[in-house]
Amino acid sequence: MSAVKSAEMRKTMEWEDNVRRVVPYVAGEQPKGENIIKLNTNECPYPPAPGVARLAAELDCSALRLYPDSGAAPLAEALAAYYGVKKEQVFVGVGSDDVLALAFLTFFNSGRPILFPDVTYSFYDVWAELYRIPYRTCGLDENWHIRPGDYRQPNGGVIFPNPNAPTGLLEGTETVEEIVRANREVIVIVDEAYIDFGGVSAIPLLKKYENLMIVQTFSKSRALAGLRVGFAIGNEKLIRYLNDVKFSFNSYTMNLPAQILGAEAVQDDAYFKEVRDKIVATRERAKKTLSELGFTFPDSSANFIFASHKTVPAREIFEKLRERDIYVRYWDKPRIGNSLRISVGTDAQMDALTAALGEILEGK
Ligand SMILES: *Cc1c(COP(=O)(O)O)cnc(C)c1O
C-alpha cells in the first residue's frame, strides 16, 4: 500500500492533530417566513426606539471612510451617563457574547476551575472549552435557585446570569452580594442580560467590590439584537485589563453605525420603559393562561417563561408547535429536557400560542 493511501486511511490527517477542536454553541433557529411566530431566542417583539430609525436614515456614509472610535466612545459615554458611572468603567462589545468571551480570556487564568450553575446559559461551558479553562458546575436547588454556599469552594472565578437563563428566576441582591463577598480573590461576573424585565441590577455593589463585573446587552430589552451591542461595567482597573486584551485581539470591533444607533437607544428612556412595561404585562398575562393550560414554571423575572406541562412531554409540544410555525426553545438535556423556554412576544402572538396549545393539549 502506498504511503499516500495509508495516510488517507488514517482516521484524521496529521495536520488535524493540531487543530483547536470545539463543539460550538448552538443558537436558537432563525426560521424565515411571513407568518412565523418566533418565540425561541428572547428577542424583543417591538422595534427599537424611533430615533434609531431616524438616525439610520440620516447616516453620513462618507464617515465610514475612517476607522470608528476603537473604544466606542459615543456609546460608552451614553451608558456611563445612564448608569451613573465613569466612562472608564464601561466596556462596550459586539453583543454581550463578545464581552463575555473577552472576559473569560482576560480574567479566568488561574488554572483553578471556574464555577457556574448546572442549568444556565449554554455558552459558558463552550467558552471554557475553547480557552481550555477548567470549570465545575454547581447544582441549582429543587426550585431552580442558586445555592450561594456552593460558591464558597476554591475556584478560579464565578459567572452566573441574574435572572438566570433558561429558568427566568431572579436572585436577590443579598444572594449576589454573598457570592461576590465570598470570592474577593477572583472575578465574579454577573450576566444581567434580562435584568431590565424585573430585577434590580448589582451595579451599586461596584462601589464596594473590586472583583465584580456586570454584563448587559441591547439584544433583549432594547430591541437591538441585530445591531450587536453589549457592555460591561466594572471598576476602572478591571475595565482597563479588558480593553488591553480587546486591543490585542481586534481594535475596531464595533462599527460606527452601531455606536451611533446604540447611543440613541440609550437616550430614549421613555420608549425603553414603555416597551419593557408592555412585555412585563404580557408576561404576567401569559403566566395565567399557561397555568390554566396545565403548565408549571419558575416565576419568571425575564422576557421568557420556562414551562413544563403536567402530562404532555415538552418535546411533543415543541414539535407540534413547530408544525404550526410557532417556534419555542427546547433542549434535550439532563434536568431541562421536559421544559420549553417560551419568549414573551406581543399579546397577539401569545394569544396565537395559547390557541395552538389549546388544540395540542385537548383531551390530554
Ligand atoms: C442573550 C444572552 C446573552 C448574549 O446576548 P448578545 O446578543 O450577545 O448580547 C448573554 N447572556 C445571556 C444569559 C443571554 O441570554
The stretch 100-109 carries a mean pLDDT of 98
Give the whole-angstrom CA distance, residue 145 versus residue 299. Answer: 11
Q: Report residue 26's pLDDT band, with 50, 70 and 90 as the boundaries.
A: confident
Q: Residue 171's closest CA among 203, 144, 196, 151? A: 144
Per the domain annotation, does 286 fall within a domain? yes
What CATH number is attached to the domain comprising 136? 3.40.640.10
In 225-346, which residue ranges form alpha helices assigned H by DSSP? Answer: 236-247, 256-267, 269-292, 314-323
> Which of 215, 245, 267 is where one domain is finished?
267
Residue 247 is part of which domain span?
Answer: 59-267
Residues 81-99 pLDDT 10s: 999 999 999 999 999 999 9
Residues 32-83 pLDDT 10s: 888 999 999 999 999 999 999 999 999 999 999 999 999 999 999 999 999 9
Which atom of ligand 1 is found nearest the CA of 220? 1
Give the whole-angstrom CA distance, residue 118 versus residue 146. Answer: 10
Per the domain annotation, does 105 fall within a domain? yes
- The sign one gets for the Cα dihedral 132, 138, 143, 147 is negative
C-alpha cell of residue 278: 408592555
Give the whole-angstrom CA distance, residue 122 versus residue 192. Answer: 15
Q: Report residue 364's pLDDT band, with 50, 70 and 90 as the boundaries.
A: confident
Distance 6 CA to ligand 1 centre (A): 46
Instruction: Let me know whether 198 and 326 are in one domain.
Output: no
Residues 190-234 pLDDT 10s: 999 999 999 999 999 999 999 999 999 999 999 999 999 999 999
Per the domain annotation, does 121 fall within a domain? yes
Whole-structure pTM value:
0.95
Q: Residue 214's closest CA among 96, 81, 58? A: 96
Q: Residue 172's closest CA among 212, 199, 209, 139? A: 199
Using the 8-state DSSP alphabet, how is residue 136 labeled?
E
Give the whole-angstrom CA distance, residue 151 versus residue 233. Answer: 22
Which atom of ligand 1 is found nearest the CA of 225? 7
What CATH number is attached to the domain comprising 331? 3.90.1150.10
Cβ–Cβ < 8 Å for 78, 263: yes
Instruction: Let me know whether 97 and 232 are in one domain.
Output: yes
Cβ–Cβ < 8 Å for 162, 213: no
Residues with CB under 6 A from ligand 1: 95-97, 121, 161, 165, 191, 193, 217, 219, 225, 230
Q: What is the pLDDT of residue 1?
A: 45
Distance 220 CA to ligand 1 centre (A): 8
Instruction: Let me know whether 116 and 254 are in one domain.
Output: yes
> Which of 217, 245, 267 is where one domain is finished?
267
CA of 14: how far to CAs of 2, 8, 9, 17, in Å? 17, 10, 12, 5
Instruction: Let me know whether 177 and 204 are in one domain.
Output: yes
Per the domain annotation, does 7 fall within a domain? no
Q: Report residue 13's pLDDT band, with 50, 70 and 90 as the boundaries.
A: confident
Instruction: Let me know whether 331 and 197 are in one domain.
Output: no
Instruction: Let me know whether 302 and 249 are in one domain.
Output: no
Instruction: Let me know whether 336 and 226 are in one domain.
Output: no
Residues 223-281 pLDDT 10s: 999 999 999 999 999 999 999 999 999 999 999 999 999 999 999 999 999 999 999 99
User: Looking at the predicted structure, is the pLDDT value of residue 10 above 70?
Assistant: no
Q: Report residue 3's pLDDT band, with 50, 70 and 90 as the boundaries.
A: low
Residues 138-189 pLDDT 10s: 999 999 999 999 999 999 999 999 999 999 999 999 999 999 999 999 999 9
Instruction: Let me know whether 247 and 275 are in one domain.
Output: no
Per the domain annotation, does 162 fall within a domain? yes
Instruction: Let me know whether 77 and 197 are in one domain.
Output: yes
User: Looking at the predicted structure, is the pLDDT value of residue 306 above 50?
Assistant: yes
> Which of 230, 248, 267 is where one domain is finished?
267
Q: Quote the number of domains for the chain.
A: 2
Instruction: Let me know whether 193 and 299 are in one domain.
Output: no
Residue 113's φ and ψ, nearest 5 degrees, are -65, 140
Per the domain annotation, does 244 fall within a domain? yes
C-alpha cell of residue 215: 454584563
CA angle 247, 250, 254 (to 5 degrees): 100
